[in-house]
Structure 1
Amino acid sequence: MKRMTGILIALLLTATPLLAADSIKIGAFFDQSGRAAFIGTPTRLVAEMVVDKINAEGGINGKKLQLVLADTEANPTKATSIARKFIYKEHVRAIIGPTLTDTGMSVKKVVHKGRVPIFMTVGGDPVIMGGDRFGPFDWVFKSPQRSSIAVERLFIYLKKKGLTKVALLNAADGFGKDGARWMKKLAPKYGIKIVSQESFGTRDTDMTSQLTKARNANPQALIAWTIGPAGSIIAKNKVQLGIDLPLFQCHGLPDPKYIELAGKASEGDRMPATKLMVVDELPDSDPQKPVIQEFIRLYREKGYDKQFPINTHSGYAWDAITIVANAMKKVGTDPEKLRAAIENTRGYVGVSGTYNITPQDHNGLGVDSMVMVQVKNGRFVLAE
């Protein structure tokens, strides 16, 4: 009996590495709780959905992808701890996430030191900006459009409409500051003047003071740069104050939740968005259209849309994981080779755009990946 037990233990010990060798670990951490859970939770569901699809189609050269999931709770310190665990304990081959720009910045140094590619699903640009101020980004990529691209898309529209004097209201977090930085930098290029700038906390529940100051600067339009409920509060406060100016939100707010929270106050509001929000209005010649339609079909088959309606954030994890998986199929999981393969992604048609990543641009999306949308009769349509 003892001899049989010893044989069984030996078999289990030798089998364990074989089982591990049959899968490739990818760390995935999102805000499944905290102030951005409304983005992070459905992002996790999409991450699981795309991994299931990849595995059903044969995985990575016969090996299954295995997600190692964690909740950052919108906490930069926790995100840093999770990133270290992914790298040094779980030995993941790549990381997907996190959700917020601030948490993304907190793990930037960790992945650079650990030399593991990370494909973030954050909105702000600092994660892929270098220099003394932001630090190296060699191992960092991101799937949402850069803030600079969203600002350009917005400014092109404003210039076309003859709206050249704007008042800016931005959140005081990393994402809001990033948007404000790019607007001030790019405004002269498009002949736009920022006549007022006010900031607010992401958890503030009233922005009437900031809106009053903005109105007193006599702008032709208002621009708000934030995600979450704060954007809806601005829309409602604007109507409550009787401010008769067009309101433009950022690329993080095209979401049915915005309309739900702001109610009738959202009617007419415009913002840059991914084509995902208006797929039915895209011409059949657009290469993204069938990709987006397939994504929506799978999302609805899973039933995710019942709790988390499709929004502009929905495709970010899909694109991030697919690009990483495509690179793994080409070069395997050696960190240096994988990083280089991701960096050389060209012509990948995704849910959020066609990606052409370069050593200088670890996002790879252009202005043509975005459209301007507006709220009309309680839904998003292409802006007029």
Structure 2
Amino acid sequence: MTSRHNQVKKTVAALGMVAGAMAFGATTSDAADPIKIGTFLSVTGPASFLGDPELKTLELYIEELNANGGVLGRQVELIQYDVGVDSKKAITAVKRLVSQDEVDVIVGGSTSGATMAVIPIVEKSQVPFISLAGAVAIVEPVKKWTFKTPHTDKMACGKIFEDLQARGLNDIAMISGTGGFGKSMKGQCEKLAPAYKINIKASESYGPKDTDMTAQLTKIKGIDGVQAVVNAGFGQGPAIVTKNYRQLGMTAPLYQSHGVASKKYIDLAGEAAEGVRLPAAALLVADMLPDSDPQKAVVQTYTKAYSEAYGGSVSTFGGHAYDGLQIAVAAITRAGSTDKAAVRDEIEKTSGYIGTGGVVNMTPEDHLGLDLSAFKMLEIKNGNWSIVK
């Protein structure tokens, strides 16, 4: 943890305790109550690679907002609960955010499992909720009070299949995590495959605690005609798959999901990651974008601010939190108040927002607002990202 991170007032509350609030400079002389933004994130545990940059991003930009006078002349207060990867803790946290903390909007939910678990609560409570998780089921079908910023698993399948088509590869195998995201992406790929003329010849899976996927990959290796392998998963599992893949001498192209779109995946997989392809946001290749790309200035500015505050590389996951916060703040500003129904309506009207994940155009029928053009197909070369031309 950097010294800057220590200096930022924050709450990383255990669920057995009442969460404190971060006021970032608010004083007792403030004329108006603060605007309360609630969040529940996987700050610790196996999904901390998601929650840690998300929390840091929210802290960084809320501090900046307050330094510049807040929103609607009011300070912004972040109330945060660390739920790890426990959906039950997520439910407890969101109930607390809604009923006890009385937040105005929720920006959070690092994992698909945690997000799906709390949707019934936010829908019943009628609190605007912007999720930071990937599963398409979060927004399809549309739920009135629920939105999201990350590209969906369905989009990831589509982007991967486009690339497979371009390479003349049609016969594939899949290996998937058994968690919420892995199951969801596997299902979405199976549904989309016929439209792209992709034939899934085999499908294997691994659990969140598995440390060796050699047996599953050996089965795939023994199947004739497999031209590529797609791994639907996130966390350490895909890195293990990648290492085992190379150890077995498998040479067919290996694709990962956007769920590993951070430098941590490359670090964990090491040299075995060379040549792996995955769809990801432009944030990872900010300096490689042409000057004509409308996202370039946004992702470069975010990268600079985050790196200066915390050091290290940025991840798309922190970028999702940035987009969620900006969309929420813009909606509150347009609404001119924190009236929940008005803010919800303004989130739904988000149009032309240029973020780290793409250009967002939401509608009553689309609570994500991104299409496949928001994804870049990346390939790992010499231990770093490169854009597939």
Whether the TM-score (by the shorter chain) exceeds 0.5 is: yes
Larger-Rg structure? 1
1:258-337 counterparts in 2 under 5 A?
258-302=265-309, 304-306=310-312, 309-331=313-335, 332-337=337-342
Deviation at 1:92, TM superposition (A): 0.3
Cα distance between partner residues in 1 of 2:169 and 2:318: 31
Aligned equivalents of 2:223 and 2:89: distance in 1? 41
Q: What's the CA shift string for 1:269-314, capped at 9, x where partnerless? A: 1100100111111110111000011101111221x233xx212222
Corresponding residue SS for 2:316: coil
Per-residue deviation, 1:18: 7.6
C-alpha contact (below 8 Å) 1:60/1:325 kept by paired residues: yes
Match status 1:104 vs 2:115 = yes
What is the deviation of 1:74?
1.1
- Report the Cα distance in structure 1 between the residues aligned to 2:149 and 2:311, rounded to whole angstroms: 21
2:199 matches 1:193:
yes
Q: Is the 8 A contact 1:202 1:226 kept in 2?
A: no
2:177 corresponds to 1:166:
no
1:356 to 361, 364, 368: 361
Residues in 2 aligned to 1:53 and 1:287: alpha-carbon distance in whole angstroms: 23
Distance in 2 of aligned mates of 1:363 and 1:305: 30
Name the structure with the higher helix share: 1
Q: Does 1:373 align with 2:384?
A: no
How far apart are residue 143 of structure 1 and its match?
A: 0.7
Aligned to 1:66: 77
Gaps of 5+ in 1: 1-15, 131-135
Show the 5 A alignment for 1:73-112. 73-112=84-123
RMSD, matched Cα:
1.5
Partner SS, residue 109 of structure 1 = helix
Residue equivalent to 2:231: 224
Q: What amino acid is the match of 1:170?
A: S
Q: Distance in 1 between matches of 2:262 and 2:84?
A: 21
CA distance in 2, matches of 1:20, 1:321: 24
Match of 2:143 among 137, 145, 154: 137
Q: How many angstroms apart in 2 are the aligned matches of 1:314 and 1:56?
A: 21
Q: Which digits, 9 at most, give the CA deviation of each residue in 1:305-332, with x for residues without a partner?
A: 33xx212222011000100000000112
Could you state the TM-score of these two structures normalised by the residue count of structure 2?
Answer: 0.90
| Residue matched to 2:47 | 36
1:233 to 236, 240, 251: 240
CA contact (8 A) 2:56 2:318 kept: no
Q: Is the 8 A contact 2:36 2:76 kept in 1?
A: yes
Residue type of the alignment partner of 2:246: V
Letter in 2 for 1:260: D
Q: Report % sequence identity.
A: 38
Task: Give the number of aligned pairs.
Answer: 361
CA distance in 2, matches of 1:124, 1:68: 25
Matched, 1:156 2:162: yes
Amino acid at match of 1:374: E
1:216 deviates by: 2.1
Q: SS where residue 381 of structure 1 aligns?
A: strand
SS at the partner of 2:106?
strand
Equivalence for 1:342: 347
Q: Aligned partners of 1:247, 1:182: CA distance in 2, in Å?
A: 18
2:137 equivalent to 1:126: yes
> Is the CA contact (8 Å cut-off) linking 1:253 and 1:312 kept in structure 2?
no
SS of 1:123 mapped into structure 2: coil
SS at match of 2:297: helix
Paired with 1:194 and 1:373, the residues of 2 have a C-alpha distance of 22
SS at the partner of 2:76?
strand
Amino acid paired to 2:58: A
TM-score (norm 1): 0.91
Counterpart in 2 of 1:242? 249
